[in-house]
Amino acid sequence: MAQFSVNGMHIRGIAAAVPSAVESNFDYTRISEQERAMLVKTTGISNRRIASEGITTADLCQASAEKIISELNWDRSEIDLLIFVSQSPDYFLPASSIVLQGKLGLSKTVAAFDINLGCSGYVYGLSVLASMMATGGFRKALLLAGDISTVGITPKDKSTWPLFGDAGTATAIEYDSRAQSFFNLQSDGQGYETIIIPDGGLRNPINEKTFVEEEHDPGVVRHRRNLWLNGMDVFNFSVREAPQNVTAVMNNAGVSAEAVDYFIFHQANKLMVETIRKKLKIPTEKVPYSLGDFGNTSSASIPLTIASQLQNESHQPHSWIFSGFGVGLSWASVYLKTDHIVCPNIIEI
Amino acid sequence: MDTIEEFISKVEQELDGIPKGSLTAQSNYRDIPEWSSMHALIIIALAETEYDFSLTGEDLRSCQTVQQLYDLIKSRKS
């Protein structure tokens, strides 16, 4: 069982960057007014940010990293670990983390690598970073997480287009031997087709049929380089697995839900997160949402929620559960404490 | 487990926008005006929170009426 605790990871700051272009779901006229109202009410998503052509996830993460390094007045030469979590890298190769090491002007002594995960990626990224920091061999680290998901979706597909937004984040972490984190990581490859972009990798290389659009259901037109989402199955998976995963983390850490100040869930869909919240019997004030303004921002959703919703709270000591679940299928939670997270204003690019 | 009447009442309450008393045990839930995947998610959420029951998309596709849905949840709960 992938449950463990490690000492050493202390979150010092979180910055987030989003594209300045806003897309409102109230303007999504491919569906009826009644369906639109139902969509906004059920998903909780009113607005999303859409990256203009030429802006990449790495660009958004780089802006966030620059901001948090500056806010914390960090000496760049002391940063010795950089992890980039994304499913929308700049290139097939090399890894975007290494490109970013160069662009951020970090030392060549930095360990830099990518992690290819989506909704669960922030917590997985923290777990890898925490485990490395626990060795005592790293002083300062950056976890860059985000996605430009809108490049894989089309307005012709009502099952994906109104849901996703773009964002990139940077979490600044320092070594502190007293800081303890409890992780629970899970995977289910049987569900790999639940959320998938079928073509473009080596399994299904781009071919003459890749960009042929097909209507799978009324209002669901997509080609094989688009994101395919089986909403019902992912909903069912998330409300079944996430509460169990979170409960196991709390049991392992020896804390109750009452003792946790905030539960930051992956921002997939408000009905989904509310169902998880009710199953865990958590009061509403402990579960903030950023999806109303930003939609589902993949691996950026947890840090973006903290940076956008708890900017005025984050300077106080808090205990947290972060929980991500989705594409893979992959899901993970962490329990940790912070004493003062610096959260600058959201950057718009 | 709730009675069928209580189940119907909860479904109507969650799917707000449909008039109270408009659903019966024999109603086909796909006939609800403007039925969409959002309605399906609301029913799945209801099954999770009220009955601690994981209703799948396949379950929803295989059932036709509110009664069949109720019977499915009840049979797996008992």
Mean pLDDT, chain A, rounded, equals: 96
CATH, residue B55: 1.10.1200.10
A 10 A CB-CB count for A164 gives: 26
Question: Percentage of chain A surpassing pLDDT 90?
Answer: 94
**A208 Cβ contact list (under 8 Å, min separation 6):** none
CB-CB neighbors (< 8 A) of A235 in chain B = 41, 44-45
* pLDDT, average across residues A268-296: 96
> What does the pLDDT read at residue A79?
97
- Band of pLDDT at residue A146, cut at 50, 70 and 90: very high
Inter-chain CB proximity A279 and B49 less than 8 Å: yes
What average pLDDT does the segment A176-189 reach?
Answer: 96
Q: Distance (Å) from the C-alpha of residue A274 to the closest C-alpha of chain B?
A: 9
Taking 3-state DSSP, the helix, strand and coil percentages for chain B, each rounded to the nearest 5, stand at 60, 5, 35
- pLDDT: which is higher, B34 or A189: A189
Q: Answer yes or no: are the C-beta atoms of A97 and A170 closer than 8 Å.
A: no
Is A112 a residue whose pLDDT tops 90? Answer: yes
- The pLDDT value recorded for residue A35 is 87
Q: Which residue from A252, A286, A217, A182 is spatially nearest to B40, judged by alpha carbons?
A: A217
pLDDT computed for residue B78 by the predictor = 58
Short-list A111, A158, A152, A169, CA closest to A135: A111
Segments forming the whole domain that contains residue B45: 4-77
Interface probe, candidates B16, B37, B53, chain A, greatest A C-beta count within 10 A = B37
- A43 to chain B, closest Cα gap in Å: 8
Residue A244 at interface with chain B, using a CB cutoff of 8 Å: no
pLDDT in tens, A34-50: 889 889 999 999 999 99
Contacts of B57 in chain A (CB under 8 A): 230, 232-233, 236
A-to-B residue pairs, Cβ atoms closer than 8 angstroms: 56
Counting Cβ atoms within 10 Å, is residue B68 exposed (0-12), middle (13-18) or buried (19+)?
Answer: middle
Q: How far is B32 from chain A (nearest CA, A)?
A: 12
Residue of B nearest to A220 (CA): B37
- Model ipTM value: 0.87
Nearest by CB to B36, from A38, A272, A274: name it: A38
Q: Does the distance separating the beta carbons of A271 and B34 come in below 8 Å?
A: no
Closest alpha carbon to A294 in A310, A273, A284, A308: A308
C-alpha torsion sign, points B30, B34, B38, B44 = negative
How many angstroms away from the CA of A289 is the closest CA of chain B? 18
What is the mean pLDDT of the segment spanning A241-253? 97
Closest Cα in chain B, distance from residue A238 (Å): 10
Question: Does the pLDDT value for residue A95 go beyond 80?
Answer: yes
Chain B residue with minimum CA distance to A241: B54
Segment A284-319, tens digit of pLDDT:
999 999 999 999 999 999 999 999 999 988 889 999
Question: How far is the C-alpha of A285 from the C-alpha of A305, rounded, in Å?
Answer: 14
Mean pLDDT to the nearest integer, A49-78: 97
State the pLDDT at residue B22: 83
Label residue A213 by pLDDT band (50, 70, 90): very high
Domain boundaries, chain A: 1-349
Q: Which of A191, A238, A38 is nearest to B37 (CA)?
A: A38
> Virtual CA dihedral for A264, A17, A121, A326, nearest 10 degrees?
70
CATH of domain A1-349: 3.40.47.10
Residue B77 reports pLDDT greater than 80: no
Number of domains forming the structure of chain B: 1
Question: pTM value?
Answer: 0.94
Residue of B18, B42, B44 best to disrupt the A interface, most CBs of A under 10 A: B44
To the nearest whole Å, the CA of B49 is away from the closest chain A CA by 6
Share of residues in chain B with pLDDT > 90 (%):
18
* Amino acid identity, position A196: I
Average pLDDT over residues A117-132: 98
Contacts of residue B49 in chain A, CB cutoff 8 Å?
A: 275, 278-279
Q: Does A207 touch chain B (CB under 8 A)?
A: no
Position B57 confidence tier, pLDDT thresholds 50, 70, 90: confident
Backbone angles phi, psi at A178, to 5 degrees: -85, -20
Which chain A residue shows the shortest CA-CA distance from B16?
A: A38
